[in-house]
Structure formats: C-alpha cells, structure tokens
C-alpha cells in the first residue's frame, strides 16, 4: 500500500527555495510514497467562519480540504517571514482545522521543514507551524525536522534536488513521516 503525502508550501513566489525544496521531495520520494505538491494556496480566502458554511464553502477552500482529505500525512514547507510562519501557510492550517475536531488534519502525521536566508534556516517559523498544526489536530512528528540556512547563497546555482545533503535530510524526513502514516501500519 502506498502513502500519499500532501506538500503545502508557505511561499507563493515562483522562484521560492521552499517550493524548490518541495519539488525535491516530489522527485526523491521513495518507492511506495507519493508526495503531491498542492497548487492553489494563493486562491484560498482568509479563514472566516462566516464563509465556512456547509454547502457554501469557497471553491478554493473546498479543493484544499478535498486534497487534504485524500492525504495520509502532510509535509509543510515554511520559510520565515519576520520571524514567524507565513500567512498563507497559517491560513491553510486554519481551513484544514475545521470543522472543529473533524478537520482534514485531525490525527494525521505532519512534518515541517524549510529553508531561509538566515543562519538558522527558519526554525522559528517551522516551530510555529508545528505548534499551529498540532493545535489544529495534526499528529506532529516532532523528530522529523530539516532547517536549511543560507538559502539565497546555497541555492543560487544549485536546485535543492541536486544537493546531496539536502536530499538525504529530506529523504529521512519523508521516511519518518511515512512510518507515522496510518497507511504504513
């Protein structure tokens, strides 16, 4: 049985190093694991309980929930914006946390990785993403971590998919996430 991991990227920039990191996860997923890079977070409206009404949920939010519902686990890619989680990633977590107690994240394994220009690779934002995903009901795989510093220089001429150290770290995280997935049991 294969494991389906939904990858959510907290940067909307087309040349984002975190998006490239997600592309590397897709490319290097081991056999039996499918990493699906979700497209469309830019279209999801800010969470508002007034528009989260059964039968009238905005199409972009409904599509996110549908994709999340078919996932066995989640791999979140978080850059660091002003020391914290990007709004687009937090918004996705908010939509996936509802309905309360039965959201698409509930009980499913979640890992958070990322890269940032700073010397710590975005660890503050990644810690905040883990916290938010856990409160939203996700089963955060605490040991599954990868923070890559110096993204602007490190990936100036090398795609993360071609960086051996990055691929090894990403593969380890995917394996940890896969082992925690219900489909793997």
Per-residue pLDDT tens listing for the chain (185 residues): 599 999 999 999 989 999 999 999 999 999 999 999 999 999 999 999 999 999 999 999 999 999 999 999 999 999 999 999 999 999 999 999 999 888 999 999 999 999 999 888 899 999 999 999 999 999 999 999 999 999 999 999 999 999 999 999 999 999 999 999 876 55
pTM of the predicted protein model = 0.96
What's the confidence (pLDDT) of residue 101?
84
Q: Please report the pLDDT score of residue 184 as a whole number.
A: 56
The pLDDT assigned to 181 comes to 86
Looking at the DSSP assignment, which residues form a beta bridge with residue 111?
Answer: 75
pLDDT at 182: 78
Question: Which pLDDT does position 183 carry in this prediction?
Answer: 62
pLDDT at 1: 58
User: Can you give the residue ranges of every domain in the chain?
Assistant: 3-184
The architecture of the domain spanning 3-184 is 3-Layer(aba) Sandwich (3.40)
Report phi then psi at 74, rounded to 5.
Answer: -130, 140
Q: How far is CA 181 from CA 54, 73, 86, 109, 156, in A?
A: 28, 6, 26, 6, 34
């Amino acid at each position: 049985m294969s494991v389906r991991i939904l990858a959510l990227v907290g940067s909307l920039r087309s040349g984002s190093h975190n998006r490239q990191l997600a592309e590397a996860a897709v490319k290097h997923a081991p056999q039996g694991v499918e990493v699906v890079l979700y497209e469309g977070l830019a279209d999801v409206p800010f969470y508002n309980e007034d528009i989260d009404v059964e039968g009238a949920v905005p199409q972009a939010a409904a599509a996110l929930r549908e994709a999340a519902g078919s996932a066995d686990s989640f791999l979140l890619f978080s850059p660091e914006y002003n020391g914290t989680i990007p709004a687009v990633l937090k918004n996705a977590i908010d939509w996936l946390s509802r309905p309360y107690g039965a959201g698409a994240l509930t009980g499913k394994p979640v890992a958070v990785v990322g890269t940032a220009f700073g010397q710590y690779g975005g660890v503050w934002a990644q810690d905040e993403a883990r916290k938010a995903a856990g409160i939203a009901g996700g089963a955060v795989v605490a040991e599954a971590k990868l923070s890559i510093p110096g993204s602007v220089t490190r990936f100036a001429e090398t795609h993360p998919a071609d960086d051996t150290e990055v691929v090894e770290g990403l593969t380890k995280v995917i394996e940890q996430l896969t082992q925690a997935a219900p489909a793997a049991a």
